[in-house]
Chains A and B, each alone.
Chain A
Amino acid sequence: MDSGNCEPPVRAPLADTADEGLKIVIVGGFGVGKTTMVRSVSEIRPLNTEETMTQAGVGIDETAGADGKVTTTVAFDFGRISLNARMVLYLFGAPGQERFWFLWDRLFSGTLGAVVLVDPRRVADSWYAIDRLEHHGLPFVVARNNFGPPVHSLDQIRDALTLDDAVPLIDCDARDRESGKTVLITLVDHLYALSRAQEMAT
């Protein structure tokens, strides 16, 4: 990467039959291991890009131009998993900070679900992300990224996050491919159960 605009990308192309892009978002604070998890399960080296949004208004950070408009910029990483000949899953590592949520609808509408990655040393950092996901009505699971032996039980974490019993909460090691896979499967299993329940109800 970073070799200018005229070099073709050096990564495996998708199959010609690929026609269904899917999204899962991994949300978490700075340094919690979002990019690490994306890297451990992605078939490509994680890529980075950003979105900008210009709007009139106050209350957002960044610099206001002479016309009073405010530009908000959010950077995010992503990786890719080819699920079969047609379906491609994109994993986005997104910062949980406030300005990010202004761009949620523009970037992440249609997302299957989210993983909230929790740093066991800074559990409270995840409150805001969980609140916002609930606000957007997006199903999610919570994964505690353990850098060492856990100090608290998962029940204690659930209490600390005042997390509904219906929301799966698991341990993971974001560096480990199998562990990352398990987190994704836990999320999609959860989505499947919700989707089945919804289908039964209608």
Chain B
Amino acid sequence: MTPGSVQHENPDRLYTVTGGRSRADDARLDLVALIVSESQPVPGMQSEHAEILRICRAPTAVVEISADLRLPVSVVRILLADLLDTGSVTARHPRTAAGARLPDPDLLKQVLVGLRKL
């Protein structure tokens, strides 16, 4: 835990940025779903939305956005649901989140090759 982590965030801010909503839409975003901006921030946009669009010019995981904005993951999921609804961002969902007990050997093989090359 580091100073300046989101735990010091004022609860009012969390309420304000989500408009009081506490639950993201059904399509749950994985912690490592990669988010990509499909449009530029526009004037008058909620600042957190604009910031997400800037961060996600390159693919960025939900959890990285959470760390950058210093907002809990659940709050970021709500903000992202807004942007997904309007097509302002797209999400690249991980295949492994489907709930399979074990990932398939081919995927693991690729992970091994990648790790050995480090």
Contact = CB atoms under 8 A, between A and B. Distances in A.
Interface size class of B (residues with CB under 8 A): 35 or more
A163 B3 CA distance: 37
Interface string A89-118: 110100000000000001111101000000
B21 interface: no
A5 B69 CA distance: 6
Interface in A72-93: 73, 75, 78, 80-84, 87-90, 92
A166 interface: no
B102 A185 contact: no
Given A19-B92, A195-B103, 8 more contacts: A18-B34, A18-B59, A48-B2, A53-B74, A110-B30, A181-B115, A194-B102, A195-B108
Given A5-B51, A83-B110, A49 B30 contact: no
B111 A112 contact: yes
A122 B28 CA distance: 38
Chain A interface size range:
35 or more
Interface in A1-44: 1-2, 5-6, 8-9, 13-16, 18-23, 41
Interface of A: 1-2, 5-6, 8-9, 13-16, 18-23, 41, 47-54, 73, 75, 78, 80-84, 87-90, 92, 106-110, 112, 137, 139, 181, 184-185, 188-189, 191-192, 194-196, 198-199
A182 B106 CA distance: 20
Given A16-B58, A191-B108, A21 B32 contact: yes
Contacts of A1: 4, 67
Interface in B49-84: 51, 54-55, 57-61, 63-64, 66-70, 72-74
Nearest 6 A/B pairs, CB to CB: A83-B114, A21-B32, A13-B58, A110-B97, A47-B67, A2-B4
A45 B80 CA distance: 24
A49 B66 contact: yes
A195 B2 CA distance: 37
Interface of B: 1-7, 22, 30-34, 47-48, 51, 54-55, 57-61, 63-64, 66-70, 72-74, 92, 94-99, 101-105, 108-116, 118
A199 B103 CA distance: 10
Contacts, number: 167
Nearest to A110: B97
10 contacts: A13-B60, A16-B58, A48-B1, A48-B5, A48-B67, A84-B113, A112-B108, A188-B115, A191-B102, A192-B105
A189 to B, nearest CB: 7
A185 B63 CA distance: 24
A64 B52 CA distance: 32
Given A51-B74, A110-B96, A90 B31 contact: yes
Nearest to A71: B11
Contacts of A82: 114
B47 to A, nearest CB: 7
Contacts of B47: 5-6
